[in-house]
Structure 1
Amino acid sequence: MSSLDRPGGRNGRVVTFYSYKGGTGRTMALANTAWILAANGKRVLAVDWDLEAPGLHRFFHPFLEPATVGATTGVIDLLTDYAWAAAADPAETEHRHPDWHRQYARIQRHAVSLDWPFPEPGTLDLVSAGRQNRDYSAIVSTFDWDNFYERLGGGLFFDALRDEMRYHYDYVLIDSRTGLSDIADICTAHLPDTLVDCFTLSDQSIDGAAAVARHIDERLRSRRIRILPVPMRIDEGEKEKADAGRSLARAKFDRFPSGMTEAQLTGYWGSVEIPYRPYYAYEETLATFGDEAGNAGSLLAAFERLTAVITNQAVTALPRMDEEVRLGIKKAFTRSRSALPADLHLSYVSEDRLWADWIAAVLTRAGYRVELKYVGGEGDGADKPADRTVVVLSAAYQRSARARQVWEAATGGDPSGRRQVVA
């Protein structure tokens, strides 16, 4: 029996956020849409299927326990568990129930719930790309997608996974990897009911996104995937170029979204584009906390309009929250300035110049500001030692009378207690 046939199921919608090129702000759009939906009492699942460059969790970090995220399995673990079971000895599997694979599609085993009081029955669950240990990259890079589909019944498994997600959640938002690949094909063709096709107004981004839309529409017309082209990172600082890009995008996406009159299409394109706001270029911050509600020109307002289109106007706005709470969470997203380590002197004798250069390079990569101080040269520290000194304490250094003076000055009495010496 399909999970959708079970009593009490939700028959939710699977929405993939895709971009042909990186740098569109796709993941940020997904994260904000997910929050707006959950804040309106919807059960939402956000899935990080960008296996090569996972990062969706960063937009939710104030609401996640780092240890829990690090220890929780995700998409690649879900797939490998099934692959191992499907590749078992035929003698062991011939008596399996026809629906045996569905137990491996139980997505909630890999989900972590965000710690926030969403209105009932709202929730926002996250499934990461996978457990980030030292084996992760090797597992992702060696996963055989052709074998998964052709020999291990991957298509049936993804059908079951889609059923399972739709059964438990009102909306499932999938963050797909960029470009053309087996992974992107799963996210854009096999799983979604709606495809949010994100692009910037560069020629390559528009052409790539439009080609993918046409490919899916022609190849999978029977699936009736709703395709929503969404221009992103629109910078009005170059209005003439932006208008030319908008015109080109309308022409390239001439069939999308389908089923709209010309007037409806004009309204659609005027409402869904996402503006560029420099404030959000530096940190993974949710606009649901970064922007005050009610500002029509804000990034939050743009994500509200996108959410309204995705939900067919079922959800149109983020409910207002207490301003003090909003500002407190906004502060939690803000990265504090890291204090650079203080300058340090690297003391050496001429015989050890190669060692000194290497040590200086290592410390510089670690963020220190290093001043090489040759013993006998100007300001070598014998008369006025630095607060922090690293000494290349070789046999040659110890034989040098001047070097001994540097050492004694650096390690001598220090009333301030600030001086540090490392040999």
Structure 2
Amino acid sequence: MSRSQVTTFYSYKGGSGRSMTLANVAWALATNDNKVLAIDWDLEAPGLHRYFHPFLSDPDQSSSSGLIDRIWDYVQQLPTESDRKSRFKLADCSDIVQKLEMPSIGEGCLHFIGSGRQDEQYSEKVGGLDWNGFYQRFDGEAFINALMKWARGKYTHILIDSRTGVADTAGICTTQIPDSLVLCLVYNRQSIEGSAAVAQSIKASRRQSQKSALKMFFVPCRVEERSTVEAARRHTAKRLLSVIDQDLSRIAHHLRRAEVRNYPWCAFEEKLAVFEELPDERGSLLDAMHDLAHRITGEAIKIKPIDPEILGSLWRRAAFDDPRIFDLQAITEQSVPDGWKQVQFWLDSARETEGERSDWLMALAEAAVAYACRRDGRLSQKTAATFAESAVHLARESYQAEPGSYGPRLALVLEDLAGFWQRAGKLKAALDYVLEAEQLWRMAGDPISRWRLTRALERRADIFDRLGEAEATIQTYQEMTEIFRSIGRRTLPIGNELEPARAQRLLASKLMEFGDWPSAQDAITAAIQLLAHTSPSGRDRDVAEIVNILTTRLKIAAQTEEDTFDKIGHAVVVMANRYLQSENARETVVSELFLAQASFLAQRGAFDEALSRIDSLPAEICQRPRVLLERTEILKNMGREAEASNLLLELIDQGDVPLTTEVVEQLRQLLNAIGHGEQIYDVLLSAFRKADDRTRSLVPLLERYFQKATNDFEHKVGAEDLSAFVALLPALQQKTD
């Protein structure tokens, strides 16, 4: 190996493009078959590793030892080492060298020694090192010389990124160890005067210590239009006359040749020129850096082309935002046929590629789940399921790489997937996803995450409800109400102030179904109290919820508060007039009041009055399924089961009433009462043959009916229907798994 060269890159002030210049020169040398070592000696403000980010296994330097760590290791072991030769064994830094995984570059290499491990002790190590004491008490100069001797024995070029200013470490880098010096400056008075003074001081110091003169290269950076900097260039040349043994015109010529224009893209990211510019682009930064490498070394330096796809893949690891994210956002705004194939391609690529960025994986997961959850029917169920599976895999991978950054986004993906499988009738899969999302929200613990947790709990309660798990549903709603009590309304996101009251209303409704009327009364009373202290918006969602709260209050009062029912009804109407601006919404509350009154009368045996109260409603309201169901219940209580069952069968057949567990049970009781209990199977078979989302959740109920009632009805149910019933169950059960 020919004699190696140590070159320090220095700037009097920060922001002069020093680290950027060194990094690009290092690339140019390494791609021209040189063995290059770059050392970040700017201990106070390290940043060279940012330019090498795409090629490092530890891009943030959070686990890699560096220069300051090695110096402290040397200082701490020195008292135990009496033999001078063994004292400097730590000058061999092979164990802390980081190899940059660059594209194929021939025989060259680019290695890196960082400033030190970027952890909580880093500032303490840098601030606690007394450089004067290091030199005077610990033979620091000899150790640094030994370190450079090791480096010269392994590399053709050692490039040092020096601290700015005139500190001790800057003196080491500019006076003690280099063979040549690159001084980066900008054309302003402070930078020009400071750079000239430092250059003069270095020259004098080298002469005094009887060291050979340094080769100095002055590189003006961030230069705007050259016609506007003539005066600054002339002033710089004059200030360098005492440093450079050339005439004024020659110095000005060299400055002009070395000038590096201002490239706006450099201001936003630490990015090597090879990622931004084409090899044959004249006047580019890439061209300027290779020219500087040629002038420093005196060697022929050529721009070596690298496969653009490889470069693109490398840069995506380091960019602030993966460039593909912008393309992804544009595609997901398109219709399904125009975008899903490209998303599918990216999903396949992500599964096959190692080292993809976490932000890209999460963005792709979110896009995939968005496509899976679309309800326009253009994506097949099979493709949607594939997208869903890919989404959760990528989102989890992103979270595992950066848990602190992607927990909430993973939770949202999981909630969306829970909704997807819930709509598909796969209730157990949906439950698993929502439970996983809940755990992430619990881990976060902040008020917004706890609010998000209530959203997940509401979905979980709905799944339990569809599975027929009434007690689990109630317990989940109770947990929601407890969380709202703990976080308070004031910490909720704007526009969600009504949610604590909604949680109480959901709990009250389920307690009603469960038959726990006292607890239901407590829950709806709490909802009314919360509503009284809330200022709801006029949005449709809030209007609908207020109607639900008020009507639920009426239903419960009809069952539990005989003495005060009329008073409560009046109070509800007053609240409706206060909170509901919509006339239709107020009419709905009044209609529900009439229904509650009908229920109240029916419970006390006044069936004719109850029916009369229903009949007094407007004709269009009388035909609503909710009202017809109430009529059915009253007819049943009057002993008119045949009339009630016919009305309910008509509602089911027309699709006006969802086939819920409660409706099926009510119909079964009516049919049993009139001696046609086996007819329930005809209804269920007809519904299950459609196999829509509403009927799939009734599979557990159907199984229970079959187990309990087969012996009773086997002689009444035809063999063909019974066989169809038995054959249909496994297929339907599979849909719910």
- Short-chain TM bin: 0.7 to 0.9
Deviations 1:298-327 (A, max 9, x none): 111111111111112x04332122344344
CA distance in 1, matches of 2:53, 2:230: 36
Deviations 1:223-248 (A, max 9, x none): 22212111111011x833x1111111
For residues 205-224 of structure 1, the aligned pairs below 5 Å read 205-221=191-207, 222-223=210-211, 224=213
The DSSP-based 3-state class of the residue aligned with 1:99 is helix
CA distance in 1, matches of 2:314, 2:253: 34
Cross-structure match for 2:302: 317
Q: Structure 2, unaligned stretches of length 5 or more?
A: 326-358, 364-407, 410-446, 449-488, 503-526, 549-737
CA distance in 1, matches of 2:159, 2:193: 24
CA distance in 1, matches of 2:528, 2:100: 59
Q: 1:67 to 1:287 in 2, by over 3 A?
A: closer
Cross-structure match for 1:64: 56
CA distance in 1, matches of 2:27, 2:62: 22
CA distance in 1, matches of 2:265, 2:59: 29
CA distance in 2, matches of 1:273, 1:262: 17
The alpha-carbon deviation at position 117 of structure 1 amounts to: 3.6
1:125 pairs with one of 95, 105, 111? 111
CA distance in 2, matches of 1:213, 1:114: 32
Q: 1:220 to 1:42 in 2, by over 3 A?
A: same
CA distance in 1, matches of 2:136, 2:248: 43
Q: 1:299 to 1:148 in 2, by over 3 A?
A: same
Between structure 1 and structure 2, the one with the greater Rg is: 2
TM-score in terms of structure 2 length: 0.44
CA distance in 2, matches of 1:120, 1:311: 19
CA distance in 2, matches of 1:49, 1:73: 13
The DSSP-based 3-state class of the residue aligned with 2:65 is coil
The structure carrying a bigger helix percent of its residues is 2
Answer whether contact 2:4 2:156 (CA < 8 A) is retained. Answer: yes
1:306 pairs with one of 292, 297, 305? 292
CA distance in 1, matches of 2:39, 2:300: 20
The DSSP-based 3-state class of the residue aligned with 1:15 is strand
User: Structure 1 segments of 4 or more deviating over 6 A?
Assistant: none
Cα RMSD (Å):
3.5
Answer whether contact 2:237 2:251 (CA < 8 A) is retained. Answer: no
For residues 65-80 of structure 1, the aligned pairs below 5 Å read 65-66=57-58, 69-80=61-72
Answer whether contact 2:29 2:301 (CA < 8 A) is retained. Answer: no
CA distance in 2, matches of 1:261, 1:244: 17
The alpha-carbon deviation at position 177 of structure 1 amounts to: 1.1
Deviates more, 1:294-303 or 1:34-43: 294-303
Deviates more, 1:186-195 or 1:63-72: 63-72
2:92 pairs with one of 106, 115, 123? 106
Cross-structure match for 2:185: 199
1:239 pairs with one of 224, 227, 245? 227
The alpha-carbon deviation at position 38 of structure 1 amounts to: 0.3
The alpha-carbon deviation at position 256 of structure 1 amounts to: 4.4
Deviates more, 1:118-127 or 1:226-235: 118-127
The structure carrying a bigger strand percent of its residues is 1
1:229 counterpart = 2:218: yes
CA distance in 2, matches of 1:62, 1:398: 58
Answer whether contact 2:68 2:115 (CA < 8 A) is retained. Answer: yes
1:402 pairs with one of 527, 532, 535? 532
The DSSP-based 3-state class of the residue aligned with 2:149 is helix
Matched to 1:209, the amino acid is: S
For residues 1-40 of structure 1, the aligned pairs below 5 Å read 10-40=2-32
The DSSP-based 3-state class of the residue aligned with 1:174 is strand
Answer whether contact 1:10 1:168 (CA < 8 A) is retained. Answer: no
1:273 counterpart = 2:259: yes
Cross-structure match for 2:236: 249
Answer whether contact 2:53 2:59 (CA < 8 A) is retained. Answer: no
The alpha-carbon deviation at position 331 of structure 1 amounts to: 4.7
Deviations 1:348-384 (A, max 9, x none): xxxxxxxxxxx89xxxxxxxxxxxx979xx967449x
Q: 1:227 to 1:192 in 2, by over 3 A?
A: same
Deviations 1:146-170 (A, max 9, x none): 1101111011111111211111110
CA distance in 2, matches of 1:309, 1:255: 21
Q: 1:190 to 1:398 in 2, by over 3 A?
A: farther
CA distance in 1, matches of 2:291, 2:109: 21
TM-score in terms of structure 1 length: 0.75
CA distance in 1, matches of 2:43, 2:296: 24
Cross-structure match for 2:166: 180
